[in-house]
Amino acid sequence: MIKIDNKKKVFVLDGKNYSYIIYVNEAGTLQFVYYGKKVDGDDYLTSVYAKTLAPEPNGFNIDNAFNGMPSEYAFFGKGDYRAPSTLFVREDGFRASRFVYKSHEVVDGAPDFGSLPHARRGGKTLCIVLKDELSDMEISLNYTVFDDSDVIVRNAILRNCGKNKVRLNKAFSFCLELPDAQYDIMRLQGRWAQERMPEVTPIGKGTVRVDSSQGGSSHAMNPFAALLRKTCTETSGECIGVNLIYSGSFAITAEASCFGALRLQGGINDLNFEWILDGGEKFVTPQAALCYSAEGLGGMSREFADFYRNYIIDPARAYMRRPIVINNWEATYFNFNRDKLFDIIDAAAPLGIDTFVLDDGWFGKRDDDKSGLGDWFVNEKKLEGGLKGVAEHCAEKGMKFGLWFEPEMVNEDSDLYRAHPDFAIGKRGVTPSRQRNQLILDFSRKDVVDYIYDAVSKVLKSCNISYVKWDMNRFMTEFYSEKLPYERQGELAHRYILGVYDLAHRLTSAFPNVFFEGCAGGGGRFDGGMLYYFSQIWTSDDTDAFERTKIQWGTSMCYPVSAMSCHVSACPNHQTQRITPLATRGLIASLGATGYELDLTKLDDCEKEEIKRQIASYKNIDELVLRGDLYRLSSPFNSNYFCEMLVSKDKSQAYVAGERIHGVPCDLNYIIKLKGLDPNKRYTVKELGITASGKTLENAGLLLPRLPDFGAWTWNITECK
């Protein structure tokens, strides 16, 4: 709900449990007032509350140096020495700005930004237009609120209303000015095979920067940060999370000023970013989703999960039963032929697996990772009977067929590169920095995107393909496009991501029956922008049943479990060499969109029976994975037990899954207290053969079974009727 005092220019935005309040101060600047637990907005509309929050130390005088005004979108060069939200240069070189309120409107729903990922619908959107008194620039600030959500979506649109061009050097999506800096900050940092490890540090004075400048959101840092009050825990206390709906280079900064306030802002990374705005042009920044929680990190995560499922992921897929996949990558790598694939398919069908996904190596000259990328035509020498043969074999076995692509990439040893070397990002004559022997295609160019669209479409039309795994295995270097003029080279990284979105938009629209999964060398681009197009994302190349507990725990901070592709792989694990029980691997993979990634032909009958059992059990809980609320009960980071719980929205069903990490002597009395149940309902815990009230299960908890190293357990809980 949005309430406005049009005279005093006070704006009260109410979501499910929060209020966000801003107003236009005496200097005409749009100023932050309040963000937190819901308050009585009328107090702000009718009384002097807003004025009690006058900024220090120079009041409303923007023209005073050292002004510490809590600005809703910070501008540069008028004495606020903190980082601005935007920095742009006029043709005469002048770069200071002085933004004041111009107008506002409230519209139903959420703004549509075409193929740039955005909230698909919304309750209401407040748009406030600010005007620069020193140039012809205007900024529209959008705030979309939802009655059923604690997420507020923000972005900024910068408009050059003059005739002369302006160079943007920074254009963040949002700025949030908090009156104090008594927070810790959580980021999700990592690396390949160890993505999204939560790390919490104090803010301190100065700036904490959470960012990627790699041209993709990256393994190293997710476009997410959360401010945690010192009292914030998993289950209680205040925190504010921010998640950018964007897949390119990004930055989120938290700057504690010398006056004690905190400026949290973020958007496209300003490092290596420039954008020329000609007269009359606008620049739309990606959306940022902000979530206030008074129920700790768990509360924040559940709100983000619902937000993604209800507003970002394709509604046709968000709650759709996910295919249970067998993927051949770790079974064969590049070394396969038709017979080997048929054997895997034959072994998969009786187990209840419904989709076979053919991974890397089916196209061009591709027997290792040195060649072939870009040549999207099947290698019939390797795959007798082509893709059609595999698709038909799947159909004969009652299974569907999926295919791997890496549309954004090219090997120098490929027909595509030999014909169009200029299609690759980089400067001719400068040795390219290769990663995995490949280069990135210049998706800032429409002709390149068109070429790949045609090539991929042709394959998708060639036979019955119902699933695509869209991989991306390197990040950007030598940021240079042969086709962009000198003054626009700084636009490349963002234009590239817009090209990726354009291709994703065109392919997902042209092939509405194909289920798309995202991937980037594991989970190197697991973000809201990708989730807009790909309803699930390969979470990590690390499928080890212990490492995965940490990766999935971290990923669940702001993404739904249904968005995480989680596969059971072989042991010793290919990434860690660790041996864990098949039952544990299955159980950890059940806390997401489950699947398999191993050579089924090498399993004995017992193992096959175990997989059959896992799939049958998963079918009993997959509605909880798709629609339930996640409660993280015991952390693998600071305890010997990993445990998570999914609870149906009506609290009639729950699923607890856990893993004991190491056997420790005399570790006998570990009790897990359940969460999210209805205290007044009675429940059956199937595995224990007991009934108890939600109150008992939450307050007294359940004693864990004795388990060996990496042993796992489940409790299936249902309401007694």
Interface residues toward ligand DGJ, by CB under 6 A? 329, 359-360, 404, 471, 473, 519, 521-522, 538, 541
Q: Is 423 exposed, middle or buried (0-12, 13-18, 19+ CB in 10 A)?
A: buried
Query: Cβ 196 to ligand DGJ, closest distance in Å?
Result: 15
Q: Are strands 564-569 and 593-597 parallel, antiparallel or unpaired?
A: parallel
For ligand DGJ, the closer CB: 294 or 348:
348
Q: 570 to each of 35, 69, 332, 354, 567, how far by Cα in Å?
A: 48, 57, 12, 19, 10
DSSP per-residue codes, 320-357: SPPP-EEE-HHHHTT---HHHHHHHHHHHGGGT--EEE
Token pair belonging to 644: 């998570």
Is 541 one of the catalytic residues? yes
Q: Taking a C-beta distance cutoff of 8 angstroms, is the pair 517, 467 a contact?
A: yes
Nearest CA to 137 out of 111, 172, 166 is that of 166
Question: Where on the phi/psi map is residue 138: left (φ > 0), alpha (ψ -120 to 50), or beta?
Answer: beta
Q: Where are the beta strands (DSSP E) in 554-681?
A: 564-569, 593-597, 629-634, 641-647, 653-660, 671-672
Residue 154 CA to chain centroid, in angstroms?
16
For ligand DGJ, the closer CB: 10 or 537:
537
Query: Cβ 581 to ligand DGJ, closest distance in Å?
Result: 23
Token pair belonging to 682: 């009675």
DSSP per-residue codes, 395-413: HHTT-EEEEEE-TTEEESB
N- to C-terminal Cα separation, the chain: 38
Q: Can you give the length of the chain in residues?
A: 721
For ligand DGJ, the closer CB: 353 or 657:
353
Query: Cβ 524 to ligand DGJ, closest distance in Å?
Result: 8
- C-alpha 25/C-alpha 10 separation (Å) is 9
Q: Taking a C-beta distance cutoff of 8 angstroms, is the pair 251, 211 a contact?
A: yes
For ligand DGJ, the closer CB: 466 or 575:
575
Token pair belonging to 416: 């595509």
Q: 364 to each of 149, 377, 439, 520, how far by Cα in Å?
A: 47, 6, 16, 21
Q: Taking a C-beta distance cutoff of 8 angstroms, is the pair 135, 162 a contact?
A: yes
∠ CA 70-239-520, nearest 5°, is 100
Q: Write the CB contacts of 609 (distance below 8 Å, at least 6 apart in sequence).
A: none
Q: Which residue among 150, 541, 542, 622 is the active-site one?
A: 541
Residue with smallest beta-carbon separation from ligand DGJ: 360
Q: For every residue of 107-140, which 3-state class applies, written as one string? A: EECCCCCCCCCCCCCCCEEEEEEEEECCCCEEEE
For ligand DGJ, the closer CB: 496 or 526:
526
For ligand DGJ, the closer CB: 479 or 538:
538
Query: Cβ 519 to ligand DGJ, closest distance in Å?
Result: 5
Query: Cβ 7 to ligand DGJ, closest distance in Å?
Result: 57
DSSP per-residue codes, 270-323: STT--EEE-TT-EEEPPPEEEEEESBHHHHHHHHHHHHIIIIIS-HHHHTSPPP
Query: Cβ 402 to ligand DGJ, closest distance in Å?
Result: 12
Nearest CA to 607 out of 352, 351, 398, 397 is that of 351
Query: Cβ 473 to ligand DGJ, closest distance in Å?
Result: 5
Look up residue 166 and give its amino acid: V
Look up residue 178 and give its amino acid: L
Query: Cβ 89 to ligand DGJ, closest distance in Å?
Result: 41
Residue 176 bridge partners (DSSP): 264
∠ CA 555-13-258, nearest 5°, is 70
Write down the residue that tokens 């299936």 correspond to: 716
Token pair belonging to 285: 């920044």
Query: Cβ 327 to ligand DGJ, closest distance in Å?
Result: 7
Q: Which residue among 14, 471, 502, 527 is the active-site one?
A: 471
Query: Cβ 570 to ligand DGJ, closest distance in Å?
Result: 14
For ligand DGJ, the closer CB: 330 or 629:
330
Residue 141 bridge partners (DSSP): 128, 156
For ligand DGJ, the closer CB: 160 or 540:
540
Look up residue 684 and give its amino acid: T
Query: Cβ 406 to ligand DGJ, closest distance in Å?
Result: 7
For ligand DGJ, the closer CB: 85 or 328:
328
For ligand DGJ, the closer CB: 519 or 654:
519
Query: Cβ 404 to ligand DGJ, closest distance in Å?
Result: 6
Other residues' Cβ atoms within 10 Å of the Cβ of residue 403: 26
Nearest CA to 216 out of 473, 504, 411 is that of 473
- C-alpha 441/C-alpha 453 separation (Å) is 13
For ligand DGJ, the closer CB: 177 or 471:
471
Q: Is 181 exposed, middle or buried (0-12, 13-18, 19+ CB in 10 A)?
A: buried
Write down the residue that tokens 């004025």 correspond to: 51
Query: Cβ 526 to ligand DGJ, closest distance in Å?
Result: 11
For ligand DGJ, the closer CB: 359 or 622:
359
For ligand DGJ, the closer CB: 329 or 546:
329
Positions annotated as catalytic residues are 471, 541
